[in-house]
Amino acid sequence: MGAMKDRARVVYHRTGKAPRSFKELGLSDAELTGSYFTEKNYALGGSAENWWCSCSNVYTSAPSFLEMRADLSNGSASFNR
């Protein structure tokens, strides 16, 4: 997810727009598929000041998802856990 934020910052600084899809982020399904997660577990969206990405089914207790929120202009970010 940190790499996703880094890519989002690059896209934002090149285009002036926050990426709102994996295509805009330049990520393929293959890059999001691994041993434990697939592209269906991931989501992203938001604005440049409040961009977010998440991965579902990470934890067994609530909340079961991991979410990162970031300000793409300065790179600051925080996680929900």
Count of domains forming the chain: 1
Tell me the CA distances in angstroms from 24 to 14, 17, 44, 64, 81, one per residue in order: 12, 10, 11, 26, 27
What average pLDDT is seen over the chain?
95
- Do 37 and 44 touch, CB atoms closer than 8 A? no
pTM of the model: 0.90
- Please give the residue range of the domain that contains residue 35: 2-79
pLDDT of residue 58: 95
pLDDT of residue 36: 92
pLDDT of residue 47: 97
21-50: average pLDDT: 94
25-50: average pLDDT: 94
pLDDT of residue 6: 96
pLDDT of residue 4: 95
